């Protein structure tokens, strides 16, 4: 493998490790371990702040409502300093989520999305993303599902 191929593999490993630590293991310290101090989120989840604080809040929100929350990337593509991740995340709702209380037996909540991360060195410096937040709101009964 040449140097540029090594960098692409390393960048994908950085993103995969970050997603696994934050969204599957619930380790909020992953924010400090993987995101640069000046990290910019161009599409912050849940309309949070466009920085590390917003990403930490998103991770905490899903972990509190769905203690078994986990994210599975099913496609990762690296080119230059960019890594594209397509994923499905899911968990059993055991607490309030977006104001919707958990049913007594819990319910599985599924979130699909696409993220683009820019990696410099061993840190993620930027993120762009599209998450199916509307689909989550439909699952929770906050927004009516299409007929």
Alpha carbon separation from 80 to 1, 43, 98 (Å, rounded): 15, 21, 37
Q: For residues 2 and 10, what is the distance between their CA atoms, to the nearest angstrom?
A: 12
CB-based burial, 67-83: b 16+ in 10 Å, e otherwise: eebbbebeebebeeebb
Which pLDDT score, from 0 to 100, does residue 47 have? 82
Count of C-beta atoms within a 10 Å radius of residue 107: 17
Residue 131 and residue 71: Cα distance in Å, rounded?
Answer: 13
Greatest Cα pair distance, the chain, in angstroms, is: 54
Q: Would you say the C-alpha torsion 91, 126, 20, 88 has a positive or negative sign?
A: positive
- Domains of the chain with CATH codes: 3-139 (3.10.450.50)
* Residue count (the chain): 147
pLDDT tens for the chain, 147 residues: list them: 668 889 899 999 999 999 999 999 999 999 999 999 999 999 998 788 999 999 999 999 999 999 999 999 999 999 999 999 999 999 999 999 998 999 989 899 999 999 999 999 999 999 999 999 999 999 999 999 887
Question: Could you give the CA distance from residue 50 to residue 115 in angstroms, rounded to a whole number?
Answer: 14
């Amino acid at each position: 493998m040449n140097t540029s191929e090594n960098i692409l593999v390393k960048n994908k490993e950085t993103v995969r490790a970050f997603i696994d630590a934050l969204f599957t293991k619930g380790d909020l310290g992953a924010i400090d371990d993987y995101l640069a101090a000046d990290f910019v989120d161009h599409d912050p989840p849940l309309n949070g702040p466009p920085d590390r604080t917003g990403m930490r809040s998103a991770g905490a929100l899903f972990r509190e409502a769905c203690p078994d929350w986990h994210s599975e990337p099913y496609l990762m593509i690296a080119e230059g300093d960019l890594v594209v991740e397509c994923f499905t995340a899911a968990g059993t709702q055991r607490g309030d989520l977006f104001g919707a209380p958990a049913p007594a037996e819990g319910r599985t909540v599924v979130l699909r999305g696409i993220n683009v991360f820019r990696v410099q060195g061993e840190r993620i410096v930027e993120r762009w993303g599209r998450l199916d937040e509307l689909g989550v709101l439909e699952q929770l009964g906050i927004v009516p599902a299409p007929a």
